Amino acid sequence: MTQWQGQLIKIDDYRWKIPDNYKTGMRVPGLIYASKEMLESIREEQTPEQVANVAFLPGIVDYSLAMPDIHWGYGFPIGGVAATNIKDGVVSPGGVGYDINCGVRLLRTSLSEADVRPRISQLIDALFHNVPSGLGSEGKMKISQKEMNQLMVEGARWAVKRGLGCEEDLDVTEGGGCFAGADPSKVSDKAIKRGMPQAGTLGSGNHFLEIQVVKKIFDSHTASIMGITDIGQILVLIHTGSRGFGHQICTDHLRIMEQAVSKYGIKLPDRQLACAPVESEEGQGYLAAMACAANYAWVNRQCIAHWVKESFSGIFGRSPEELGMRQIYDVAHNIAKIEEHTIDGRTLKVCVHRKGATRAFPAGHKDTPKRYKEIGQPVLVPGDMGRCSFVAVGTQKAMSETFGSTCHGAGRVLSRGAAKRGFRGADIIRELQSRGIIVRAGSVPALAEEVSQAYKDVTEVIDVVHQAGISRKVAMAVPMAVIKG
Amino acid sequence: MKKAFELTNHTADMGIIAYGADMKELLSNAALALFSLITEPGSIEERSHVNLKVRSDEKDSLLVEWLNELLYLFDTKHILFSRFDIRNLTHNELKATCYGETFDPMKHKIKTGAKAATYHMLKLDRNNDGYKAQVILDI
């Protein structure tokens, strides 16, 4: 593929603008957060073209934004953020993605590396056994249709009511682990049939469960409020979403949106951007179904976190409370939300699409949990399995510049095929093991797709959002053991 | 013989390019490409069959719907297919019999877990040699 040849106007070291006259039909300019060094791979991938395409969406306000972990997606780039005015704007399922409410949950423990290292094999085997993973994996919970209807509406609370976790978990989950407005009647039978057996499973692809060791603390006061106090402390990171349920909902509603595009006379440069006015029947229908999938994903991470705690408890012979196991936070990074933002001095209700982007609300914001009111909402940024992950917090600058959004991870640089041609799963397991990282994988060949070299270095990504001021980095942790689906 | 399909690569995802002398052959080859991305098609025996009916508004969306229907069956019933007999085809509907067997992790090595066929960069062209289609898959 040839490099993208369009104009990127430098605003400062971390902001690059695509002027709105780049393409006829753009309603706003594009804005990419990246370092100069990142621009080459961004141009190589043609992703600025996708940022420009998103700027065609009716009702889009301010900018079509891209975070530094931007990479090529369908329609929307991954790492894309777009806010549309709910009065005259659209909602686009492609701006959320197939894996609705794909997200991450981080747990802290009072254990140290020295406590865990001698038992790491047993621990990872217990986790591999207790948390169903892999392609087509089915959960150990048997959910009836009636229960499915309840969990679609209740979200994480549904699991807590069944003894899977505690009330405190909900306080430190984005939106309390429940997306309001969920309507199971907008969800197809097919989606329900896909979703019922998969609740409480990790899945496959880039989803994982990681035991991590804290390596750096950049801001000890902020970290301590999250319960991150020591170098060498053990954390657990869970990355999964709404499985086949979310995929089917996205597929079903894209079909509806395809028709809506011609019904409402919307002109788009890419069919995968299919959308409908937020306030139309189609738009409301999608948002109600999307909420069901978001709630399903929160149930999923809620259950998995509970089984993680049980597994630790079984291996160390102490209760999760005695082990200091507590949820730090849970964020969605594929979602569309109706939020209030101030644009050019005016407060507007907008539909913020975050596709591979994380909400990053500042200290004092009404939706920042009570525990974090003083420091800002935690932002969880996983890296690849061979490098590291970051914990950051949201800032006021994110509120004024990016609709309270920031990056979500490392972002791919190599295609899955290229990764497979260059690396073998078995070699990766050996190489990681030599560095003290144990891997368990549902499919060893597929593991090659997730090799470190297939991803951007997450450190560069976090440095951009930190320097640009749209989040503030707090701590860094490295993997000790990884389960890949 | 002309090739039936190719697998292509995107940074985050994979795609298929399928060929066919006619639309029936194209649809069958696209489905074969899908399952060869998931596993080794040679490892799938014809132990059972499923009759399918897929409807759509347009010919190219029919291709996407067809692949999504097969992925749905794989996700819910865990069936892998290796042969597709498109019995009936109109501009917006197809009827097919698909042959394959239940996924067995001991027998079928999973290469890549495809989850959805997308409309992104969807192409369906016809030339003197027949049909050619490109579909990007979400992994």
Q: Which domains can be identified in chain A, with CATH numbers?
A: 9-413+455-484 (3.90.1860.10)
Print pLDDT tens along chain A (485 aa): 678 999 999 999 999 999 999 999 999 999 999 999 999 989 988 899 999 999 999 999 999 999 999 998 888 999 999 999 999 999 999 999 999 999 999 999 999 999 999 999 999 999 999 999 877 677 888 899 999 999 999 999 999 999 999 999 999 999 999 999 999 999 999 999 999 999 999 988 889 999 999 999 999 999 999 999 999 999 999 999 999 999 999 999 999 999 999 999 999 999 999 999 999 999 999 999 999 999 999 999 999 999 999 999 999 999 999 999 999 999 999 999 999 999 989 999 999 999 999 999 999 999 999 999 999 999 999 999 999 999 999 999 999 999 999 999 998 888 888 888 899 999 999 999 999 999 998 888 888 889 999 998 999 999 999 999 999 999 999 999 999 98
Angle at which helix A281-316 crosses helix A145-154, to 10 degrees, equals: 100
Yes or no, beta carbons of B9 and A417 under 8 Å apart? yes
A400 Cα to chain B: minimum distance (Å): 30
Closest C-alpha to B111, from A348, A447, A266:
A447
Is the CB of residue A454 less than 8 Å from the CB of residue A93? Answer: no
**Cα(B13)–Cα(B35) distance, rounded to whole angstroms?**
15
- Spatial contact of B7 and B14, defined as CB atoms under 8 Å apart: yes
CB-CB contact of A72 with A270 (8 Å): no
Nearest to B55 by CA among B90, B97, B19: B90
Q: Which domain holds residue B114?
A: 5-138
Judged against a pLDDT cut of 80, whether residue B1 lies above it is answered with no
CB-nearest partner of B75 from A94, A244, A412: A244
Domain count, chain B: 1
Tokens at residue A215, please?
A: 């390596």
- Note whether B12 contacts A: Cβ–Cβ < 8 A: yes
CB-CB neighbours of A116 under 10 Å: 20
Residue A188 DSSP class = -
What is the end-to-end Cα distance of chain B in Å, rounded?
A: 30
Chain B CA closest to residue A197: B76
Query: CATH number for the domain including B122?
Result: 3.55.10.10
Place of tokens 């890296």: A383
- Beta-carbon separation of A247 and B12 below 8 A: no
**Which of A41, A34, A27 lies closest to A10 in space, CA to CA?**
A34
Is the torsion defined by CA of A462, A464, A465, A469 positive or negative?
positive
How many Cβ atoms from other residues are within 10 Å of residue A433's Cβ? Answer: 11
C-alpha span between A381 and A224 (Å, rounded): 18
The model carries a pTM of 0.95
Rounded-to-integer distance, Cα A242 and Cα A202, Å: 9
Q: Dump the DSSP string for B85-122.
A: EEEEE-SSEEEEEEEEEE--TTT--------EE--TT-
SS3 state of residue A437: coil
Contact residues, chain A, for B78 at CB < 8 Å: 136
Cβ–Cβ < 8 Å for A202, A131: yes
Question: Across the interface, do A205 and B113 touch by the CB < 8 Å criterion?
Answer: yes
Q: Residue A216's CB: how many other CB atoms inside 10 A?
A: 14
Please enumerate in sequence order all residues whose Cβ is within 8 A of that of A54, keeping only pairs 6 or more positions apart, or say none.
A30, A60, A64, A75, A76, A77, A80, A82, A95, A273
**For B67, nearest residue in chain A (alpha carbons):** A251
Contacting residues of B for A77, CB less than 8 Å apart: none
DSSP reduced 3-state for A376 = coil
Tell me whether residue A408 is one of the annotated catalytic residues: yes
Q: Which residues are CB-neighbours of A318 under 8 A, at least 6 positions away?
A: none
What is the distance between the alpha carbons of residues A358 and A381, in angstroms, rounded to a whole number?
Answer: 8
